[in-house]
Chain A
Amino acid sequence: MKPHLLSAADLTHDDALLVLDTAEELARLADRPIKKLPTLRGRTVVNLFFEDSTRTRISFEAAAKRLSADVINFTAKGSSVSKGESLKDTALTLEAMGADAVVVRHHASGAPHRLAHSGWIRGAVVNAGDGTHEHPTQALLDAFTMRRRLNAGPGDHQATVGTDLAGRRVTIVGDVLHSRVARSNVLLLRTLGAEVTLVAPPTLLPVGVDVWPCATSYDLDGELAKSDVVMMLRVQRERMGDAYFPSAREYSRRYGLDGRRMTMLPDHAIVMHPGPMNRGMEIAAEVADSARSTIVEQVTNGVSVRMAVLHLLLSGDPAAHEATA
């Protein structure tokens, strides 16, 4: 694996399977009375959040703590640190404190890339969501969730180890233009062999999407019957003001997943959402709360996947250590 996780494109097929299999192994910890491993004892993980995201921060924090790492939370939101300069100064501070890994959430696309490549810090950088660019650990936890739901019977998680998502059809619906979740999922799911279709109004698909490794459609109804997975993206109501769509009601009618549309899905198909949801906008309550919904599992799986990422980036496997020694 590369020394940082900045983009889902950083992961080869083998890398991705290694993360997912490691996460599966670490997930078994959650069933034990003592949920902690000593793997990262004495290592320091900094959660550097320039943007509010309580759920992602808590997930990384839980992951690092279960591996016995020391965790420092640095929430740098607000006007005093909204200028770019502070990213550098903050990074230098963290470096001086001896951070072994920096988990960074930032409103600017590429900020984790800058942290990793500017020489400001030496530790591993994990992208926890940057602007409208990527959110690779979200894609990993989504893939992990799909694998568990689609590749094995209920509860038989071990059967998923070593499997990818070859041939699975994943439909991602909503504001692709502004979605880092969509970008990372397209890249990772393609690496794992899935066929991805993006569904959105044309205004919410980026220019150049035709060269992405996926298909696109403007018609949700036409995609549902052949989908193994439908992933609904959050749509911010503010987008209406920028004329991306005429009204929340029209958006919901054309691209929302409601009870009627849910009946068009194959029986085995699952419904995902990275959260936080706009119930009644992109997803109806009856869908979000249905048996197909994986929304709560996604949160649980997030911890396992992030443990795997931190474990692999910080401790590595012994062979890799010898190779670099």
Chain B
Amino acid sequence: MTPALRGPRGIGSAASDFVGIYVLKGARILGAAATDLLVEDGVIADIGQAGRRISRAGAELVDADGLVVLPGLVDLHTHLREPGREDAETVETGTAAAALGGFTAVHAMANTDPVADTAGVVEQVWRLGREAGHCDVRPVGAVTVGLAGTQLAELGAMADSAARVRVFSDDGSCVSDAALMRRALEYVKAFGGVVAQHAQEPRLTEGAQMNEGELSGVLGLKGWPAVAEEAIIARDVLLTAHVGSRLHVCHVSSAGSVEILRWAKAKGWNVTAEVTPHHLLLTDELATTYDPLFKVNPPLRTSDDVEALRAGLADGTIDAVATDHAPHSHEDKDCEWDAAAMGMLGLETALSVVQEAMVETGLLDWAGVADRMSTRPARIGSLESHGRPLEVGATANLVLVDPAARRTIDPFALASRSRNTPFAGATLPGSVVATFLRGRPTVLDGKLQ
């Protein structure tokens, strides 16, 4: 490790560097009764019991009256675009957006340019994350060389690198070759890895533009049938069971996928899955505007799918919410639908969308949100210091959220370098007031520190 890179914001440096002392006054841990929380030396040093107030000389007071404390959010699916598309996002801007969204760790997807398919590239991304310091960056390694789907990348080298890669994905492309997928699932067992599959049967989705259904026929946009996702998930859960490995399914989008996952989990197979915030809230009706802001892969589907995804997330069939934060330059979106890039921003709106779709509907309480947005994604990504219970001695990775706030999303006020949020102009509940990474505020009063 290069000494010059060690600093107050570096991983593992929290214990040795002074990061401040904070008392969070009147915070509601996972939505429970208000109490005080002492954050010192990078850990939760004390939690007030039954009305006992904490006072600590030299501490900075944070008025957390009415605010909910959650463990820092962990995103399993972030596109930071660096290296290669720094016009759309950089590690610096993307992780700033993450911190403002309440995240303390993100998994940076491998479809950069060059592709993150070697130890060199994943270490570069990891190092950029450390230098930015807004949240931990865990690079995802490509499963196949160049995401081409023909030859395994050096997964072991990436696992052994400084970036300690544990999640491997060709996201953006599906590992569609069944034999290659089988080998990948087998191979990652050697270092406790997981293959995160972008489930999309390529032949069934050539040129696909939107959900295949009543609207695609009317709008004349080529359909992306749910079966193209479900067929791959069905195949992969069977492969996973056969070789005794771990599978994670990216951005599940259809009711049928939820059914298959429920079945696989009932069998006891080691399968996890994520859903994006946008698939929990938006439907393919938005394609009638032909506005490419609503073009995303997998596509927005029907309200029946949205209901099934919410139910799956509520009952734990779907383990995690992952943003699939996908920044795109203005030119790639300000055009006709067919020519536009697929993808939406997500980091700065994810928690609000989950509050709207899951909390305000009564499907999840705040403990459930913590489980699906922090605990389980941290476990899937093998992150030791994130997603831990909020108790004395735990690493102080936290987010303070004001559930009573209402905010109107302004694309130009986002920290992301891109503007392609589908929630532009929408009013969403909840706002992140503060985010702590190992005891150091990355966000305070809703502002990046």
Contact = CB atoms under 8 A, between A and B. Distances in A.
B214 A208 contact: yes
Contacts of B331: 85
Nearest to A115: B336
B341 to A, nearest CB: 10
B250 to A, nearest CB: 24
Contacts of A130: 220
A132 interface: yes
Contacts of A202: none
B338 A108 contact: yes
B191 interface: no
Contacts of B335: 83-85, 87-88, 114
Contacts of A133: 219-221
A115 to B, nearest CB: 9
B334 interface: yes
Interface string B279-307: 00000000001110000000000000000
Interface string B221-241: 111010000000000000000
A103 to B, nearest CB: 16
B212 to A, nearest CB: 5
B337 interface: yes
B340 interface: yes
Nearest to B338: A108
- Interface magnitude class on chain A: 20 to 34
A84 B217 contact: no
B338 A109 contact: yes
Contacts of B334: 85, 88, 118
B216 interface: yes
Interface string B323-350: 0000000010011111110000000000
A85 B336 CA distance: 8
A207 B212 contact: yes
Interface in A130-179: 130-134
B355 to A, nearest CB: 31
A131 B290 contact: no
B337 A114 contact: yes
A323 to B, nearest CB: 27
B331 to A, nearest CB: 5
B411 to A, nearest CB: 16
A206 B217 contact: yes
A107 to B, nearest CB: 7
Contacts of A207: 212-214, 216-217, 223, 225
A212 interface: yes
B220 A114 contact: no
A209 interface: yes
A180 interface: yes
Interface in B407-432: none
A130 B339 CA distance: 13
Contact of B221 (A109, A117, A118, A134): A109
B223 A84 contact: no
Contact of B337 (A85, A110, A117, A212): A110
B338 A84 contact: yes
A34 interface: no
A133 B336 CA distance: 13
Given A83-B339, A108-B338, A208 B213 contact: yes
A207 B220 CA distance: 11
A171 B293 CA distance: 38
Contacts of A180: 220
A109 B337 contact: yes
A180 B219 CA distance: 10
Contacts of A131: 220-221, 338
Interface string A181-213: 001000000000000000000000011110110
B50 interface: no
Nearest to B220: A133
Contact of B220 (A84, A118, A132, A211): A132
B216 A206 contact: yes
A206 B216 CA distance: 8
Contacts of A118: 334
Contacts of B57: none
Contacts of B225: 207
B179 interface: no
Contacts of A211: 214
A89 B290 CA distance: 18
Nearest to B225: A207
Contacts of A88: 334-335
A122 interface: no
Contacts of A208: 213-218
B305 to A, nearest CB: 15
Nearest to B330: A85
Given A109-B219, A113-B289, 4 more contacts: A83-B339, A109-B338, A131-B220, A208-B217
Interface pairs A-B: 8 shortest CB-CB: A84-B339, A84-B335, A133-B220, A110-B290, A206-B217, A208-B214, A109-B220, A108-B338
30 contacts: A83-B335, A83-B339, A87-B336, A108-B337, A108-B339, A109-B209, A109-B220, A110-B219, A110-B338, A111-B336, A114-B291, A114-B337, A117-B289, A117-B290, A130-B220, A131-B338, A132-B222, A133-B219, A133-B221, A180-B220, A183-B218, A207-B213, A207-B214, A207-B223, A208-B215, A208-B217, A208-B218, A209-B217, A211-B214, A212-B217
Interface of A: 83-85, 87-88, 106-111, 113-114, 117-118, 130-134, 180, 183, 206-209, 211-212
